[in-house]
Chains A and B, each alone.
Chain A
Amino acid sequence: MNFYGIRAIYRFEMARTFRTLMESVAAPVLTTSLYFIVFGKAIGSRMGDIDSIGYGAYIIPGLVMLSLLNESISNASFGIYMPKWAGTIYELLSAPVSWIEVLIGYVGAAATKSVMLGMLILGTARFFVAYQIAHPIWMIGFLLLTAVTFSLFGFIIGLWADSFQKLQVIPMLIVTPLTFLGGAFYSINMLPPIWQQISLFNPVVYLISGFRWSFYEIADVDVAVSIGMIFGFLMVCLTFVWWVFKSGYKIRR
């Protein structure tokens, strides 16, 4: 195992975050604060409780997940896309590092950033609403697992993209709709039966449901199913990255 190599990549990526602290941290915190003000306070005050949880508190896990998914994907996709774009990837390709080490470095740094951000958003939420966390360990577990899985997904997008436009297209066209329709702002039980069935094909439903369970012990789907789905998606992403490095797809001609 090339530990120095992993550390070098990880540090490089973390340094990039701290260089761009405003974009990396301030922007998502501001966006989430706006959500709390608009949905939590303004609209939420006129909404009834969902499963006996106040609306402002109900949307917290969903909002954290929303930021976590977006940040994990954008951090990781940008992290690997930049060296491809700038040409500095030659060094990574010629270095004695295995694909798993490259992955630990990039995905580890991207996940670290988004977990830090998730915690920051949870802290910010405290200023707006009171909430409890019933299972803190599970909460952290969901946070970590989701951050890693979606950083991995972002890494794949970064490998696949060959323009800045493509880098944006999947998060914009697929991930954002999935998160909005994934029950961040509502319980899928509030939907008509047919849409409840369709929602079950949305992986984000399982993430948000499981994560919300760790807060309030209420869930749209069984927690075990949630965990199973995240692991399943993690495995799909890992297999794909393994294949990418093995075949050289888009990176090694």
Chain B
Amino acid sequence: MNKSPTASLSAESSIPIISVRGVSKTYAGGFQALKNINLDIQRGEIFALLGPNGAGKTTLISIVCGIVNASAGSIIADGHDIARDYRAARAAIGLVPQELHTDAFESVWATVTFSRGLFGKPPNPTYLEKVLRDLSLWDKRNEKIMALSGGMKRRVLIAKALSHEPTILFLDEPSAGVDVELRHDMWRMVRELREQGTTIILTTHYIEEAEQMADRIGVISKGELILVEDKEVLMRKLGNKQLTLRLRQPMSIIPAELSNWSLTLCEHGHALVYSFDTQTEETGIAELLRALGEHGIEFKDLRSSESSLEDIFVSLVHRPMEAQA
């Protein structure tokens, strides 16, 4: 508050909007849901938190939002300590929970009006109308929530979270039980929000979602943040490309002359797969094709594929387990 406006403005862009330091959580039953989490979320980014069920994603979000108390550590959200200065911190955050927790008997309009008031904002029907229109809820504004479908209830939860104009939006498994249309609507909306400067943190099971949306990705497994990386870098670093050659004549073993290349036989000898690193300058494809020609190995088709975020994710999450075994 005592900084000059220009100083704070320039500093704002470099200071993380959320800073998680040494956060651990052990539930009353003794289950340790989070182990010493350190994480910075940059202002204006879309951050995807990936992890299998029970990895600790929801616990982490719940701690930042004030629903669960951390056992250790501290969190700064939008420049405010979430425990000491909870009012300012929470006013900046909107949360769309994973479960469809809604009031049954309230109308859509009443529930978004309630949410805005609860978060300390003066009434603004024009803004709320815009939120409802953006989510295709305007026609349903006078309907009771219990009369809505699951997808519509999800939209209501999003509208409630946006009702107080948060600068940080948490979407906990936004696509769970949502049809394709709503999923695409939601992605569009999230991108628009980001353009308006909102920081978005989403947890997801759907790798496609993270791949489509996220700027950065964090992978959480068994309560530990095992990786945080720029999405592009992650996919480049850990991604493999494969070239699959469909052979005219099936092969039983790979000829010794081709041992320079990392090759495997698939489809009962009908396909030859060459895996290569996307990072290197020389992929070795041209040499391989030349060598195949020289040895009279003919192929009728070829295609190349890149490992998806899903492959990367599975390999990351399973790697520590295999190491432990």
Contact at B66–A88, with CB atoms within 8 Å?
A: no
A5 and B99 CA atoms in complex are apart in Å by: 24
State whether A8 and B101 are in contact (beta carbons under 8 Å apart), knowing that A94-B66, A94-B95, A252-B67 are contacts in the complex: no
- For residue B107, which residue of chain A has the nearest CB? A15
Closest CB in chain A relative to B72 CB, distance in Å: 15
Contact at A8–B67, with CB atoms within 8 Å?
A: no
Contact at B122–A91, with CB atoms within 8 Å?
A: no
Mark interface residues in B56-86 (1 if CB within 8 Å of A CB, else 0): 0000000001111100000000000000001
What residues on A are CB-neighbors of B117 within 8 Å? 4-5, 7-8, 11
State whether A8 and B114 are in contact (beta carbons under 8 Å apart), knowing that A2-B87, A86-B104, A87-B101 are contacts in the complex: yes
State whether A2 and B103 are in contact (beta carbons under 8 Å apart), knowing that A12-B114, A93-B66, A252-B67 are contacts in the complex: no
Q: Does A192 make an interface contact (CB < 8 A)?
A: no
Contact among A16, A87, A96, A252 with B99 in the assembled complex (CB-CB below 8 Å): A87
Interface of chain A residues 232 through 250 with chain B (CB within 8 A)? 248
Contact at A5–B118, with CB atoms within 8 Å?
A: yes
B interface size (C-beta, 8 A) = 35
Contact at B67–A95, with CB atoms within 8 Å?
A: no
Most buried by B among A7, A94, A252: A94
- For residue A12, which residue of chain B has the nearest CB? B114
Contact at B104–A96, with CB atoms within 8 Å?
A: no
A-B Cβ contacts below 8 A, count: 85
A87 and B145 CA atoms in complex are apart in Å by: 14
Contact among A7, A15, A86, A96 with B90 in the assembled complex (CB-CB below 8 Å): A96
- The contact size tier of chain A is 20 to 34
Q: Does B278 make an interface contact (CB < 8 A)?
A: no
- For residue B33, which residue of chain A has the nearest CB? A253
A120 and B153 CA atoms in complex are apart in Å by: 39
A253 and B103 CA atoms in complex are apart in Å by: 22
Q: Does B11 make an interface contact (CB < 8 A)?
A: no
State whether A96 and B68 are in contact (beta carbons under 8 Å apart), knowing that A86-B101, A87-B101, A253-B27 are contacts in the complex: no
A252 and B27 CA atoms in complex are apart in Å by: 11
A2 and B160 CA atoms in complex are apart in Å by: 18
Interface of chain A residues 135 through 183 with chain B (CB within 8 A)? none
Please give the residue numbers on chain B whose beta carbons come within 8 Å of chain A beta carbons, in ascending order. Answer: 27-28, 65-69, 86-91, 93, 95, 97, 99, 101-106, 110, 113-122, 160
Given A91-B95, A92-B118, A97-B118: 6 more A-B contacts, CB < 8 Å: A8-B117, A87-B97, A87-B99, A90-B97, A95-B119, A96-B120
